[in-house]
């Protein structure tokens, strides 16, 4: 069986047998002292570093804050109180989702640090060793990129944690975090291959490192119209395009087809296995109690009306993205869904991640970074760097629009083109963990959240909410952690 599937048989065995040895553990334990000796040990350590992504990109931990925290989703209003509090911006430092974002990312960083620290000492093929370290640096950069965008200043830990001594690490400046992310991704560029075959399909590649770095530059440019980082973001995105190995699928729905996992539009995705190491996207987002997914639908988050209304009637992505009706398999009756109803059992639902083959849990991948994202990064950055859209910027944007069945854009000024790209990002990448970050980096979060006021949201959002609170649990453990303003 292919491990396009870094998360397949190898990972299953690792999670069952070796995972405890790869978390923070005293060095004196026999299992730790006998591990990291062979090439097989190195492979298992790298695979364990990938494993943390499974929880992070399941249905709740990145998708929830970037969706209900933005203007793209409305939580089930009598469900998890922390989810509703996030939606209304009654944010406190004990919020479950805030805690999970922090703890799971640092778990991934620890595992990446283990690889970076231990594998250089393993007697094995030097090229493979270099690649493994490059993969770990890519993953470390990914985690820090998530963290710095949510929390700002952070403890910067680049060495393996081996004991409780010295864990009181103060927050490093945002600039230091970004410098480390950039360094890790540049190192990864020099170590990672363009592609893989067989069981290695799904690991981080050269294109993934370049693509992520383009988004890092884009994010750092922020709302600064004169930032030199626009040109860097455009140049790095262009490098991805010029690799010549990525392209758009003809139909938008093909992006999420199980047979296209790891395909031509994917730079990096989190791969699940149906009914083995699955995810909750099918069940969590389906209409509440709908008998069309495992455990019936939870209706955890419904699609926001402003997102739905953003799709033109002829936008081919809309039908591929949302569920608007279904046939009840028990009664044979058609259930029509509404964007306006307050009933979560009858609400239009996110459907592009639904694995309709699943009996227990879904196995569709989560698209962390895909080619359409890079085209839109390139379009935005190129226009910003040139003080207005260039022919190449239009070409990149219109490639995405063309697949959606939308007419090409032309004749826009710089501000209009920026708005068009951001709207295209919202539609093309909805619920893929981008919207909240896009609103923050462009200084539009507060306005967007206040404008999405359906179902009595009335969010008490302030400018300070462009960062999340530092989790109180972490501050109790590490007294050197200061709190973000406003919390």
Contact 274, 361 (CB under 8 A): yes
State the DSSP string of 318-343.
HHHHEE-EEE-TTT--EEE-BSS-S-
Q: What is the crossing angle of helices 126-151 and 96-118, to 10°? A: 160
Query: pLDDT, tens digit, for every residue of 312-325?
Result: 999 999 999 999 99
Phi then psi for residue 480, to 5 deg, are -75, -10
Taking the C-alpha atoms of residue 85 and residue 88, their distance in angstroms, rounded to an integer, is 5
Closest CA to 398 of 427, 382, 420: 420
Query: pLDDT, tens digit, for every residue of 404-427?
Result: 999 999 999 999 999 999 999 999
What token pair was written down for 470?
Answer: 């530092």
Residue 21: per-residue pLDDT:
33
Report the residue count for the chain: 487
Cβ-defined contacts of 330-338 (< 8 Å, 24+): 330/291, 335/287, 335/290, 337/287
Spatial CB neighbours of 16, under 8 Å, sequence gap ≥ 6: none
Chain-centroid distance of CA 124 in Å reads 33
Q: Please list, residue by residue across 183-193, b when 16 or more beta carbons sit within 10 angstroms of its beta carbon and e when fewer do.
A: ebbebbbebbe
Q: How high is the mean pLDDT of the chain?
A: 92
pLDDT bracket for residue 80 (50, 70, 90) = confident
Q: Return the half-sphere exposure (C-beta side, CA atoms, 13 A cut-off) of residue 153.
A: 11
Chain position carrying tokens 């004990």: 94
Helical H runs in 30-165?
Answer: 30-33, 39-56, 63-68, 81-88, 96-118, 126-151
State the DSSP string of 351-407.
-TT--TT-SSSB-PPEEEEEHHHHHHHHHHHHHHHTTS--HHHHHHHHHHHHHTTPP
Q: Is 181 left (phi over 0), alpha (psi -120 to 50) or beta?
A: alpha
How large is the average pLDDT for residues 377-389? 98
pLDDT > 50? residue 12 = no
The three-point CA angle 386-390-395 to 5° equals 140
Chain position carrying tokens 């997102």: 307
User: DSSP assignment, residue 484?
Assistant: P
pLDDT bracket for residue 31 (50, 70, 90) = low
Longest dimension (CA), the chain: 68
Residue 24: per-residue pLDDT:
41
Check whether domain 9-71+93-275 has CATH 1.25.40.390, yes or no: yes
Is 270 strand, coil or helix? strand
Lowest mean per-residue pLDDT among 13-22, 124-133, 262-271, 354-363: 13-22
pLDDT > 90? residue 150 = yes
Query: pLDDT, tens digit, for every residue of 93-114?
Result: 999 999 999 999 999 999 999 9
Is 74 strand, coil or helix? strand
How large is the average pLDDT for residues 343-348? 97
Q: Is the pTM of this model over 0.85?
A: yes
pLDDT > 90? residue 304 = yes
Q: Please list, residue by residue across 3-12, b when 16 or more beta carbons sit within 10 angstroms of its beta carbon and e when fewer do.
A: bbbbbbebbe
First to last CA, the chain: 49
Taking the C-alpha atoms of residue 53 and residue 366, their distance in angstroms, rounded to an integer, is 10
Query: pLDDT, tens digit, for every residue of 159-173?
Result: 998 777 767 899 999
What token pair was written down for 286?
Answer: 């389906």
Residue 3: per-residue pLDDT:
37
- What residues does 414 pair with on adjacent strands? none
Query: pLDDT, tens digit, for every residue of 164-209?
Result: 776 789 999 999 999 999 999 999 999 999 999 988 999 999 999 9
pLDDT > 90? residue 356 = yes
Give the percent of the chain with pLDDT over 70.
93
pLDDT bracket for residue 52 (50, 70, 90) = very high
Closest CA to 158 of 128, 115, 209, 208: 115
How large is the average pLDDT for residues 285-310? 97
- Helix then strand then coil, in percent of the chain rounded to 5, is 50, 5, 40
Domain boundaries, the chain: 9-71+93-275, 281-364
Taking the CA atoms of the chain, what radius of gyration do you get in angstroms?
22
Residue 34: per-residue pLDDT:
67
Query: pLDDT, tens digit, for every residue of 430-462?
Result: 999 999 999 999 999 999 999 999 999 999 999
Residue 15: per-residue pLDDT:
33
The CA–CA distances, whole Å, from 297 to 292, 318, 326, 339, 393 equal 7, 20, 12, 17, 41
């Amino acid at each position: 069986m292919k491990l396009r599937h870094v998360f397949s048989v190898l990972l299953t065995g690792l999670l069952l047998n070796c995972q405890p040895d790869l978390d923070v553990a005293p060095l004196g334990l026999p299992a730790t002292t006998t591990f990291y000796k062979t090439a097989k040990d190195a492979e298992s350590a790298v695979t364990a570093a990938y494993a943390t992504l499974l929880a992070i990109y399941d249905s709740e931990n990145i998708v929830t804050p970037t969706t209900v925290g933005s203007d793209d989703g409305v939580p089930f209003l009598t469900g998890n109180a922390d989810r509703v509090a996030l939606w209304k911006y009654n944010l406190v430092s004990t919020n479950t989702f805030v805690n999970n974002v922090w703890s799971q990312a640092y778990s991934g960083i620890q595992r990446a640090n283990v690889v970076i620290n231990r594998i250089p000492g393993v007697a094995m093929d030097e090229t493979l060793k270099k690649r493994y370290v490059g993969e770990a640096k890519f993953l470390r950069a990914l985690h820090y990129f998530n963290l710095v965008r949510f929390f700002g200043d952070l403890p910067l830990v680049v060495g393996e944690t081996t004991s409780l001594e010295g864990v009181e690490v103060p927050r490093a400046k945002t600039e230091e975090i970004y410098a480390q992310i950039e360094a890790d991704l540049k190192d990864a560029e020099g170590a990672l291959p363009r592609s893989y075959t067989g069981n290695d399909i799904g690991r981080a590649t050269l294109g993934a490192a370049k693509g992520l770095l383009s988004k890092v530059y884009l994010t750092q440019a922020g709302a600064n119209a004169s930032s030199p980082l626009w040109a860097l973001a455009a140049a790095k995105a262009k490098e991805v395009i010029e690799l010549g190995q990525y392209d758009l699928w003809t139909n938008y729905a093909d992006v999420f087809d199980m047979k296209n996992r790891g395909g031509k539009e994917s730079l990096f995705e989190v791969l699940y296995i149906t009914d083995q190491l699955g995810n909750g996207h099918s069940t969590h987002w389906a209409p509440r109690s709908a008998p069309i997914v495992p455990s019936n639908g939870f209706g955890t988050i419904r699609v926001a009306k402003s997102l739905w209304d953003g799709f033109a009637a002829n936008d081919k992505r809309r039908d591929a993205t949302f569920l608007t009706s279904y046939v009840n398999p028990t009664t044979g009756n058609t259930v029509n869904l509404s964007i306006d109803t307050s009933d979560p059992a009858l609400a239009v639902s996110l459907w592009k991640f639904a694995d309709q083959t699943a009996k227990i849990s879904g196995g569709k991948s989560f698209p962390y970074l895909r080619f359409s994202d890079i085209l839109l990064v390139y379009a935005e950055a190129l226009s910003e760097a040139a003080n207005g859209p260039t022919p190449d910027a239009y070409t990149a944007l219109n490639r995405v629009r063309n697949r959606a069945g939308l007419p090409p854009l032309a004749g826009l000024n710089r501000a209009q083109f920026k708005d068009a790209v951001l709207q295209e990002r919202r539609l093309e990448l909805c619920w893929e963990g981008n919207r909240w970050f896009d609103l923050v980096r462009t200084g539009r979060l507060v306005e967007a959240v206040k404008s999405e006021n359906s179902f009595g949201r009335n969010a008490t959002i302030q400018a300070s909410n462009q960062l999340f609170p530092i989790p109180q649990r972490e501050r109790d453990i590490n007294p050197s952690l200061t709190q973000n303003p406003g919390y």
